[in-house]
A and B are shown apart, each in its own frame.
Chain A
Amino acid sequence: MSEAQRTPFVESLLEAAAQAQLPGSGIGWLDAARRENLEAFAAAGLPDTRMEAWKYTALRALGQRRFEPGDAQAATRAVDDATYALPGVDGPALVFVNGVFRADLSRIDSLPAGLSLLPLSHALNGDAEPLRFALSRHYREGGDAFARLNAALAGDGVVLRVAAGAKVAQAVHLVMIGAAAESDLAWHVRHIVELGEDAELSLVEHHVASGEQQHLGTQVADVVLRKGAQLRHVTLQNSSAGGTLVRHNSVQLDEDAQASLYVLELGGALVRHDLHATLAGDRARMETRGVFVLNGRQHVDTQMALRHQALNTASDSIWRGVADQRSRGVFRGAIVVAPGADGSDASLSSKNLLLSGQAEIDTKPELEIYADEVKAAHGATVGQLDERSLFYLRSRGIPLTEARAILTAAFCRAVFESLDNDALREHLDQQLMAHLPSA
């Protein structure tokens, strides 16, 4: 793309980059990585729908928008802590407002033994060398525009490490707040998480809004689970109704590692979540559970790619989507069982519910198997509420709107059953119910 063709979106972000004073600048390898990713972003711009991974998510309108560089007042904006309080989550917390770490809102003193938790901006001021591998990545796929942007512009995020053998009992709360500002902002966070051998961690990733705004947020997270480590990762995405949020999360599981991911997508106008997991070690196990509930003109696109790369690995994925009014949900679940990953077991279910004639859901399970003795099952459906069930409820006196809400909640609820934090699970249930039409 020549400069003449640059969209307002690309232009505004290049201006942002020119002005940015990022933590860690002056570190040679980091400067180089930021510059190269920025150049790749400038050259390719945003992907279009001819690209398979973006087939159902058009970015033309976003391309015409401009975003101000970082929020100069992010460090002082008032945020009510009720905005992000979560039942069952009262351990260490790291809070970012418009992408900027807020020590005053965070809780990182007296960390449990074995847990190290630092904002990236601080980590880069110390010895940055351990972050070199994660932060010098080059995103080479044309569809990785937002990851490139993030690599070029992210100045904060979390660096979280759990020492080998350490079992962190309290859930760590990671809060990204989009706060209303004088103009539309672009903010970026970059997370790096590593669980040492046999370490255990519960992580809650939480996207919320403080006041209505139409910011663009990008997040890139790399999570590594060493041998035997166990992670429970819950994401509650409740960002601003007008916001754009793009997350790119990668998880690597070594031998005998186990990860359980729970994702509840409720907020945002345009939301994209790329979830890439690699079952890299023998007997690694992964469970993913996700629900999206959409209304208005929301557009939420989840692209999950799981790669079984070692012997006897297992993945089990259950996703449910509900779309009302003129909203659109997209789910792609691609599972690859690589050569040599014999004895793998992969199952994927994507069931979806359309509550309105104008809503749309596109779901696409893909399974590629190149190994032997593999057990694999996948299924995807898009349908409407069962008329017989609706009539049964109504015949007992339950009004139509309430009957629809009850059946829709029931459709989603079973997904989070295996989440063993009762208070948090109930909260997710309530949030889900509150988001359903006329519940």
Chain B
Amino acid sequence: MLKIENLHARVEGKDILKGLTLTVNPGEVHAIMGPNGAGKSTLGNVLSGRDGYEVTEGSVTFNGVDLLALEPEERAAAGVFLAFQYPVEIPGVNNTYFLRAALNAQRKQRGEKELDSMQFLKLVREKLKIMQISDELLHRAVNEGFSGGEKKRNEIFQMAVLEPKLAILDETDSGLDIDALKQVAQGVNALRSTERGFLVITHYQRLLDYIEPDFVHVLADGRIVESGDKTLALKLEEHGYAWVADKDPALTGASA
């Protein structure tokens, strides 16, 4: 479904990704772990099409389409969803209105019929079973005055409504206490399916206690330096990222 090959990307003239290769198939959950500065968030931003990231080499295809040639909204309509590390507050835009506008914009781009407000409300009620957020938050401005946990739950709720093919979770665990983390993980697990792929980007292993990955990759200095199953995450937790660096002589001396 997602094929990243030899991806190089730079931000503000600085090379961040330096030859990243990764394939995600439907139904698979891939965890990307790595120290600060390894390029984890850059990967999420490049995939979702944020401005300011220049791809200098390599390719990304999504179900056979050149993902990098698409605008952010076209990527969303194609089925790519980014759960933000820092969800943006948008005063004056009602959360439910926003979500309906998003869903209908995607449907329109895909040539599907838009949902009227009754159909949409029915869908919202259904999706609230997957990721509970309060009525009050549904009717407030997008993320405005939400707590850290509420913002992340709102991201997962949006994911539930938009039903992407590929979900990228960018450090979704950051800033969450253990209860909030469990709630968010439950929501993500409820959305796992044989048709949907996940890219779970995280610094810490603890998120993976609740969202069990099929594959774990270690990202260091812009490349995947180690891949394995979920036990790799445990090893990292035990030995720290220095352990990976030690295993790869090319990285010795590289800043983490």
Binding site for B on A (CB under 8 A): 386-389, 391-400, 402-403, 406-407, 409-411, 413-414
Q: Name the B residues within 8 Å of A391 (CB-CB).
A: 50-51, 72, 88
- The answer to whether B73 has its CB under 8 Å from any CB of chain A is yes
CB pair A400 B93 closer than 8 Å: no
CB pair B88 A389 closer than 8 Å: yes
- A386 CA / B143 CA spacing, docked (Å): 15
CB distance from B124 to the nearest CB of A (A): 15
User: Can you list 21 contacts pairing A with B, beta carbon distance less than 8 Å?
Assistant: A389-B88, A391-B51, A391-B88, A393-B98, A395-B48, A395-B49, A395-B50, A395-B81, A396-B98, A396-B102, A396-B162, A397-B102, A397-B105, A398-B105, A399-B71, A406-B98, A407-B90, A407-B93, A409-B92, A411-B92, A413-B92
Given A387-B51, A399-B105, A394-B72 contact (CB < 8 Å): yes
- The answer to whether B67 has its CB under 8 Å from any CB of chain A is no
Given A391-B50, A393-B102, A397-B106, A410-B71 contact (CB < 8 Å): no
For the complex of A and B, the 6 pairs showing the least CB-CB separation, nearest first, are: A410-B92, A397-B76, A397-B106, A396-B102, A394-B72, A392-B88
CB pair A402 B50 closer than 8 Å: no
**Further 9 A-B residue pairs, CB within 8 A, beyond A393-B98, A409-B92:** A393-B102, A394-B72, A395-B73, A395-B76, A396-B98, A396-B102, A400-B71, A410-B91, A410-B93
CB pair A397 B48 closer than 8 Å: no
Given A394-B76, A396-B158, A397-B76, A406-B71 contact (CB < 8 Å): no
- Nearest-CB residue, chain A, relative to B106: A397
CB pair A398 B101 closer than 8 Å: yes
- Nearest-CB residue, chain B, relative to A406: B93
- The answer to whether B109 has its CB under 8 Å from any CB of chain A is yes
- The answer to whether B87 has its CB under 8 Å from any CB of chain A is yes
- The answer to whether B84 has its CB under 8 Å from any CB of chain A is yes
When each residue 177-219 of chain B gets 1 if its CB lies under 8 Å from chain A and 0 otherwise, what string results?
A: 0000000000000000000000000000000000000000000
CB pair B87 A398 closer than 8 Å: no
CB pair B105 A395 closer than 8 Å: no
- A374 CA / B223 CA spacing, docked (Å): 61
- A394 CA / B74 CA spacing, docked (Å): 9
- A398 CA / B75 CA spacing, docked (Å): 11
- Nearest-CB residue, chain B, relative to A396: B102
Q: Name the B residues within 8 Å of A393 (CB-CB).
A: 90, 98, 102
Picked from A392, A402, A414, the residue with its CB within 8 Å of the CB of B87 is A392
Q: Name the A residues within 8 Å of B77 (CB-CB).
A: 397
- Nearest-CB residue, chain A, relative to B104: A397
CB pair B90 A400 closer than 8 Å: no
CB pair B92 A397 closer than 8 Å: no
**Most chain B CB within a 10 A radius of its CB, from A396, A406, A413:** A396
CB distance from A390 to the nearest CB of B (A): 9
- The answer to whether B103 has its CB under 8 Å from any CB of chain A is yes
- The answer to whether B82 has its CB under 8 Å from any CB of chain A is yes
CB distance from B70 to the nearest CB of A (A): 11
CB pair A392 B92 closer than 8 Å: no
- Nearest-CB residue, chain B, relative to A408: B92
CB pair A395 B93 closer than 8 Å: no
- A392 CA / B76 CA spacing, docked (Å): 11
CB contacts under 8 Å to A, within B42-88, are 48-51, 71-73, 75-77, 81-82, 84, 87-88
CB distance from B158 to the nearest CB of A (A): 7
CB pair B72 A395 closer than 8 Å: yes
Q: Name the B residues within 8 Å of A413 (CB-CB).
A: 92
- A394 CA / B87 CA spacing, docked (Å): 13
Given A392-B84, A396-B158, A396-B162, A402-B76 contact (CB < 8 Å): no
**Most chain B CB within a 10 A radius of its CB, from A387, A394, A409:** A394
Q: Name the A residues within 8 Å of B71 (CB-CB).
A: 394, 399-400
Q: Name the B residues within 8 Å of A407 (CB-CB).
A: 90, 93
Q: Name the B residues within 8 Å of A397 (CB-CB).
A: 73, 76-77, 102-103, 105-106, 109, 162
CB pair A410 B82 closer than 8 Å: no
CB distance from A409 to the nearest CB of B (A): 8
Q: Name the B residues within 8 Å of A392 (CB-CB).
A: 84, 87-88, 90, 142
- A403 CA / B82 CA spacing, docked (Å): 17
Given A402-B105, A407-B93, A396-B51 contact (CB < 8 Å): no
**Most chain A CB within a 10 A radius of its CB, from B72, B90, B158:** B72
CB distance from A417 to the nearest CB of B (A): 10
When each residue 119-156 of chain B gets 1 if its CB lies under 8 Å from chain A and 0 otherwise, what string results?
A: 00000000000000000000001100000000000000
CB distance from B140 to the nearest CB of A (A): 13
CB distance from A404 to the nearest CB of B (A): 12
